[in-house]
């Protein structure tokens, strides 16, 4: 697995990402074959999503008590592994808002090399906003709908 890859399912738009997160990949994230261990790709995506939500909501470090739109669960995650990260480096996690519904949010993601020439993984994450007390679906706030809704890829 190496080189430049494209998502076979075509789940990501050609438009520029709505948000790009720079992530460092460290030696301790590699498996014995010196390839970034597959769960680490999703950890990088989770970190990027947290940073994006903090940015959009102008919220401090994952303060879901004061910004309840941050209290959500993953409903579905799809990922295609298209290339291998084989050394400690900086990667970019690119994010798109694909769809926003009453309590669901679909985000497309792509992990690429710092120069953007190599695609390591692409996928989609479907999240559901839930109430902290009941873990039942809860509607997004007007603020979240306004700010994130403006970023939905058309």
Among 100, 44, 107, smallest CA distance to 74 is for 107
Tokens 């430049």 belong to residue: 4
- Is pTM, for the whole model, over 0.85? yes
- Supply the pLDDT for residue 10: 55
| 154 in a structural domain | no
Residues near 151 by Cβ (< 8 Å), separated by ≥ 6? 18, 19, 56, 97
| 33 in a structural domain | yes
| 53 in a structural domain | yes
Q: What's the domain count of the chain?
A: 1
Q: Which residues pair with 112 in a beta bridge?
A: 92, 119
Q: Is the pLDDT of residue 135 over 50?
A: yes
């Amino acid at each position: 697995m190496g080189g430049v890859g494209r998502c076979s399912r075509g789940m990501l738009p050609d438009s520029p990402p709505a948000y790009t997160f720079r992530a460092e990949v460290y030696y301790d994230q590699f498996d014995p074959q010196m390839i970034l261990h597959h769960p680490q790709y999703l950890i990088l995506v989770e970190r990027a999503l947290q940073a994006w939500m903090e940015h959009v909501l102008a919220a401090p470090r994952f303060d879901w008590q004061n910004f309840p739109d941050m209290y959500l669960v993953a409903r579905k995650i799809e990922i295609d592994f298209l290339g291998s990260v084989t050394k400690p480096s900086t990667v970019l996690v690119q994010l798109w808002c694909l769809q926003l519904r009453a309590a669901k949010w679909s985000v497309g993601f792509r992990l690429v090399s710092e120069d953007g020439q190599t695609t390591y993984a692409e996928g989609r994450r479907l999240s559901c906003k839930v109430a902290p007390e009941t873990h039942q679906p809860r509607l997004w706030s007007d603020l979240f709908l306004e700010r994130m809704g403006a970023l939905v890829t058309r």
